[in-house]
Amino acid sequence: MKRDSYPVEGSAESTRRHDVDWLRVLGMIAVFLFHCGRFFDTEDWHVKSPRTNEVVSFLTLIVAAQWLMPLFFVLSGIGAYHSLWRQNWRQFLVSRFKRLAVPLVFGVFVLIAPYQVYLERVSHGQFAGSFWSFYPHYFEGWYGIQKGGNFAWMGLHLWYLEALFVFSVIALPLLLALRSRTGVRFTTALSETMKVPGVIFLLAIPIVIMEFIANSPASANTLSGLFHRRDFGGWSLLPYFAIFVLAFFVASGKETAKAIQSHRIAAALLALATFAVGYYVIKIRGLSDDSVGSAIIRGVLCWSCLVAFMGFAARHLRSSNSFLKYANDAVLPCYILHQTIILAIGFHVVRLDAPLWLEYLIIATSSFAVTVALYELLIKRINALRFLFGLKPRRPQPLPTPRLTPSI
């Protein structure tokens, strides 16, 4: 989730694309609001309110299960592709390690993930006592793999950093190939096909294929069912990898970018129609998750949502301002912090027996204030914390040059 520069097709020269920065910031706001609502939907979570609501669950279905995390993976894939126009492969891996692996390891071992597991165990009546008395038990068993396991090897909500780091390493040969002369000619030729109306939607095919493979019965026995699970933001890992790789193609051709912008309205209409059909045949009629039809619906819906968001952003979010510059730097630290803070505050708020909307408002406003305050007062200003949260060190400001008064 770093700032992106977009090279002119086939060159290393770049210009700033503020629309991608806006999508990243708006996506982070959506993630924050979504997690604030997880106390009240009908799905399982770390801490739940005694009262759940079907309307909240429906909104969760619309936001999380369709486009939210796929949006981050397509933006991150675009950023990874263009990073190699500014860096060699060694610099790329080092920057990915600092940006993703360091915050992940920090979050897994220090407070971010352990405190969430602690709150979950207390909330479910599985532990009684302080966090510090729980911390030695945090290393007992693998969370999500072994029953009752506590060690959150994926960092809970930080799984995104882990997956993105692994994807960046695995896809590096492809990135290097696309950067070569042959690769540029190949992607340019493919980009030219995007001039044909509607062809842009065929890029949903890799997502459909990966979605079907991930949810097939055979994948349930692969790596302890890791690729079969849908608890990574409502999706399995294989479709995310397809979206990440698709981002390389999106970033490599100007005709693809033009097609995304020109198809933005059609994509939005297709997304609405596909969601209506999918809700009926999957939720009401009970179409199996491992069927071809389910994979087609989810793949087409996901890609049409992404095309719509990228198209409208490219059309209407072209300029920058002071808020965007500040928020874009704060995105990663706030992403790392937000869920732990939301759970810590919501753990107490859901016990108030207040109206649901009021509890949500208290959780959202107070969590936002604490998250931004920690970033502004500590993380932003202390280089050791900047390193742990994936930011570059803060350079000291040069002292002003004294003005000399000429002698008379």
Task: Say which residue, 2 or 84, is predicted with more confidence.
Answer: 84
Q: State percent of the chain over pLDDT 90.
A: 66
Residue 227 has what pLDDT? 64
Pairwise pLDDT comparison (135 vs 396), residue with the higher score: 135
* pLDDT number for residue 399: 56
Average pLDDT rounded to a whole number, residues 28-56: 93
Q: What is the pLDDT of residue 10?
A: 38
Q: Read off the pLDDT of residues 52-63 as tens digits, 9 standing for 90 and up.
A: 998 888 888 777
pLDDT at 286: 77
Residue 216 confidence (pLDDT) above 80: no
pLDDT at 233: 79
Q: What is the pLDDT of residue 144?
A: 86
Tens of pLDDT, residues 332-380: 999 999 999 999 999 999 999 899 999 999 999 999 999 999 999 999 9
pLDDT, tens digit, for every residue of 88-132?
999 999 999 999 999 999 999 999 999 999 999 999 999 999 999
Is the pLDDT at 273 greater than 70? The verdict is yes
Tens of pLDDT, residue by residue over 231-257, are: 777 888 999 999 999 998 888 888 999
Whether residue 69 has pLDDT greater than 70: yes
- Chain-centroid distance of CA 49 in Å reads 25
Whether the per-residue pLDDT at 141 is higher than 80: the answer is: yes
**Residue 12: pLDDT over 50:** no
